[in-house]
Amino acid sequence: MSTRVSASNLAQALRELTVEWQQTRSSWRDQKALEFQEHYLEKLPHLVTHARNVMEEMDNLLRKVKNDCE
Protein backbone atom coordinates (compact mmCIF):
# COMPACT_ATOMS: atom_id res chain seq x y z
CA MET A 1 0.00 0.00 0.00
CA SER A 2 1.42 3.37 -0.96
CA THR A 3 1.72 6.25 1.44
CA ARG A 4 -0.73 8.20 -0.72
CA VAL A 5 -3.36 5.51 -0.35
CA SER A 6 -2.73 5.41 3.39
CA ALA A 7 -3.10 9.19 3.63
CA SER A 8 -6.34 9.03 1.68
CA ASN A 9 -7.63 6.23 3.93
CA LEU A 10 -6.80 8.31 6.99
CA ALA A 11 -8.75 11.29 5.65
CA GLN A 12 -11.71 9.06 4.80
CA ALA A 13 -11.68 7.56 8.30
CA LEU A 14 -11.81 11.05 9.78
CA ARG A 15 -14.80 11.94 7.60
CA GLU A 16 -16.59 8.77 8.67
CA LEU A 17 -15.78 9.40 12.33
CA THR A 18 -17.14 12.94 12.04
CA VAL A 19 -20.44 11.66 10.66
CA GLU A 20 -20.71 9.00 13.36
CA TRP A 21 -19.88 11.53 16.06
CA GLN A 22 -22.59 13.89 14.86
CA GLN A 23 -25.10 11.05 15.10
CA THR A 24 -23.85 10.06 18.55
CA ARG A 25 -23.87 13.65 19.76
CA SER A 26 -27.57 13.95 19.03
CA SER A 27 -28.24 11.52 21.90
CA TRP A 28 -25.17 12.00 24.09
CA ARG A 29 -25.46 15.54 25.38
CA ASP A 30 -23.86 15.62 28.80
CA GLN A 31 -20.65 17.22 30.05
CA LYS A 32 -18.61 14.07 29.36
CA ALA A 33 -19.59 14.17 25.70
CA LEU A 34 -18.42 17.76 25.49
CA GLU A 35 -15.15 16.88 27.25
CA PHE A 36 -14.59 13.95 24.89
CA GLN A 37 -15.20 16.18 21.89
CA GLU A 38 -12.89 18.92 23.14
CA HIS A 39 -10.16 16.61 24.39
CA TYR A 40 -10.01 14.20 21.45
CA LEU A 41 -12.15 15.00 18.45
CA GLU A 42 -11.43 18.70 17.96
CA LYS A 43 -7.70 17.95 17.69
CA LEU A 44 -8.07 15.26 15.04
CA PRO A 45 -8.43 17.39 11.88
CA HIS A 46 -5.14 19.17 12.59
CA LEU A 47 -3.40 15.90 13.47
CA VAL A 48 -4.70 14.17 10.34
CA THR A 49 -3.60 17.08 8.16
CA HIS A 50 -0.14 16.97 9.70
CA ALA A 51 0.05 13.20 9.26
CA ARG A 52 -1.01 13.47 5.62
CA ASN A 53 1.67 16.09 4.96
CA VAL A 54 4.32 13.86 6.51
CA MET A 55 3.08 10.89 4.51
CA GLU A 56 3.34 12.92 1.31
CA GLU A 57 6.90 13.89 2.21
CA MET A 58 7.70 10.22 2.82
CA ASP A 59 6.21 9.30 -0.53
CA ASN A 60 8.35 11.90 -2.27
CA LEU A 61 11.48 10.71 -0.49
CA LEU A 62 10.76 7.07 -1.30
CA ARG A 63 10.27 7.92 -4.98
CA LYS A 64 13.52 9.87 -5.00
CA VAL A 65 15.41 6.98 -3.38
CA LYS A 66 13.93 4.55 -5.89
CA ASN A 67 14.87 6.80 -8.81
CA ASP A 68 18.39 7.29 -7.44
CA CYS A 69 18.85 3.51 -7.19
CA GLU A 70 17.80 2.87 -10.77
As for how many domains the chain has, the answer is: 1
CA distance 15 to 45: 9
What is the C-alpha separation between 60 and 52, in angstroms, rounded?
A: 12
20, 50 Cβ separation under 8 angstroms: no
Give the tens place of pLDDT for each residue, 7-30: 899 999 999 999 999 999 999 999
Range of the domain at 10: 3-69
Q: What is the pLDDT of residue 4?
A: 82
Confidence of residue 1 (pLDDT cuts 50, 70, 90): low
φ, ψ (nearest 5 deg) of residue 46: -65, -45
pLDDT of 68:
93
